[in-house]
Amino acid sequence: MAHTNRIVELSSLIAQQTTIINDFFEENQLPTPSLDLDALQFLPIPNEATHVKAARARVIEACSELKALLTGPRELLRFNWTAYVSVKAILRFNLDKSFAAGETTSFETMSKFSNLDVKIVRRIIRHAIINHRFFQENVPGVISHSTLTAVLSRDEMARNSLIVELNEFWPAGVKMADAIEKWPNSEENNETGFSLANNSNKGMFDIFADNPDRADRFGRYFSKPDSTADGILENYPWTEKVTMVDVGGSHGSVAISIAERFPNIKCIVQDLPDTVTEGASYLPKHLRNRVTFMAHDFFKPQPVSADVYYFRSIFHNWADKYCIKILQNLVPALRPGAKVIIHERILPGLEKLTTPDAMRAINLDVGMQQLLNAQQREMHEWPELFQRADSRFRYLGAHQPEGAIRWIIEAEWQG
């Protein structure tokens, strides 16, 4: 029996699935994907077009595998150690803002704008073009924007996100192995790649507290639009609940959404003092009798007795020993039947490791290690965590609403 030729199989799959996507674009009179200046920033595939989204995911996955196969093991082992140096330089010297989208410029003009030698500018820009599709040079020496640099020059949120990733996250990753060697198996958030990259004995949040400008950038990074509710409104029986506490709930976006949808429930949002003060100032007047804000440190005993305690993207910021403390600090307030909901990603199983969503989850898992000695968790780790905190917690399971990023992980206090 002949063996399947994997590269031919992949190329056929790419062609078939790309046809599905292209047919959808043509039927709906949508523009073909492009990186030219006037290209759309997002592919216009609506959530309900699940077959098109699935085809896109298959193409991306297959292209990645085909590229690896045709690169070969020896070449794959080579590390591109200059990968993002040009992007960081472009952002540092504002070269993306040196001329307007729709116009052209020259290396000489960019040199005058930045006070960098023209040879340095030319090397930076050409490196960014060939490695990242930043800018275009369709005529020698004449530089125009690609859609990527046009987005950066116009969209401060996108620009800020890239700066944070390059200035804060990337150096921490470079130092992660050093941190693991220096502090083997540490669960402390001040014994990390981030701490080493900052020559500090403090953790990331304390370092940001000492650097307001960096803290502001970091805060704006996490203020970008997010599917905050992420299925929690439609996929949990809120009509059966009377009280919920949103622990570490920031400005209360989830609690407010729940209160808007379910008039039977009262919500308390807990976070640090400055955060809840700011959150309360945004609260719509018609919800002030059902949504309240309270300063509370979740490493201290919980003062509020409620039906549900909700944690959104909290536990992945902490190592196990601290997550156990968070759960144990709920115990003084818990009554039999009280529920704990943890709303965050779960690391995928082996059968899904090659999907784009799995790659994002695994990358985030390592990211939490390099920044905070924290982690994303696998399915089996959640019941174990509850049991380690207190045997009176009964793990009820986890489910992921269709189309959601986060899982709804639930346990009940048995008393």
Residue 392, SS3 per DSSP = coil
The alpha helices in 186-340, defined as continuous H runs, are 193-197, 204-209, 212-221, 253-261, 273-282, 320-328
Strand 407-413 versus strand 339-344 pairing type: antiparallel
Contact between residue 311 and residue 290 where contact means Cβ atoms under 8 Å apart = no
Closest CA to 276 of 291, 294, 301, 258: 294
Rounded CA separation 191/203 (Å): 7
Blockwise average pLDDT, block size 10, the chain, 415 residues: 79 97 94 85 86 92 94 93 95 96 96 98 98 95 95 93 96 97 97 98 95 91 67 94 96 94 96 92 93 97 98 96 98 98 90 75 94 96 98 97 91 95
Q: What is the pLDDT of residue 1?
A: 43
Q: What is the pLDDT of residue 255?
A: 95
Residue by residue, DSSP assigns 148-192 as: HHHHHHH-HHHHHHHHHIIIIIHHHHHTHHHHHHHSTT---TTSS
Q: What is the pLDDT of residue 413?
A: 98
Q: Phi-psi bin for 51: left (phi > 0), alpha (psi -120 to 50), beta?
A: alpha
Strand 104-106 versus strand 243-247 pairing type: unpaired
Find the angle CA(162)-CA(168)-CA(169) to the nearest 5 degrees.
Answer: 80
Rounded CA separation 301/296 (Å): 9
Q: What is the pLDDT of residue 4?
A: 74
- Contact residues for 73 (Cβ-Cβ < 8 A; gap 6+): none
Q: What one-character DSSP code corresponds to residue 31?
A: P
Closest CA to 309 of 234, 369, 249, 222: 249
Identify residue 130 by its one-letter amino acid code.
I
271 forms beta bridges with 295
Identify residue 177 by its one-letter amino acid code.
A
Question: CB neighbours (10 Å) of residue 322?
Answer: 19
Condensed to tens digits (0 to 9), the pLDDT of residues 325-370 reads 999 999 999 999 999 999 999 998 876 766 777 888 899 999 999 9
- Report residue 272 as tokens: 């640090």
Rounded CA separation 134/158 (Å): 14
State the burial class of residue 88 (Cβ atoms within 10 Å of its Cβ: 0-12, 13-18, 19+). middle
Task: State the residue for tokens 């898992």.
Answer: 365
CATH number of 85-154: 1.10.10.10
Contact between residue 118 and residue 93 where contact means Cβ atoms under 8 Å apart = no
Rounded CA separation 338/130 (Å): 56
Contact between residue 330 and residue 307 where contact means Cβ atoms under 8 Å apart = no
Q: CA-CA distances (angstroms) from residue 364 to 316, 345, 358?
A: 9, 10, 10
Active-site position among 132, 316, 343, 380: 316
Q: Phi-psi bin for 91: left (phi > 0), alpha (psi -120 to 50), beta?
A: alpha
The alpha helices in 306-378, defined as continuous H runs, are 320-328, 356-372
Question: CB neighbours (10 Å) of residue 107?
Answer: 20
Write down the number of H helices and E strands in the chain. Answer: 18, 10
CATH classification of 238-413, choosing from 2.60.40.10, 3.30.465.10, 2.40.30.10, 3.40.50.150?
A: 3.40.50.150
Strand 142-144 versus strand 136-139 pairing type: antiparallel
Q: Is 316 a catalytic residue?
A: yes
Q: What is the pLDDT of residue 415?
A: 85
Condensed to tens digits (0 to 9), the pLDDT of residues 80-119 reads 999 999 999 999 999 999 999 999 999 999 999 999 999 9
- CA 291 to chain centroid: 27
Q: CA-CA distances (angstroms) from residue 15 to 34, 58, 167, 413?
A: 18, 11, 39, 52
Cβ density class 121-131: b for 16+ within 10 Å, e for less: bbebbebbbee
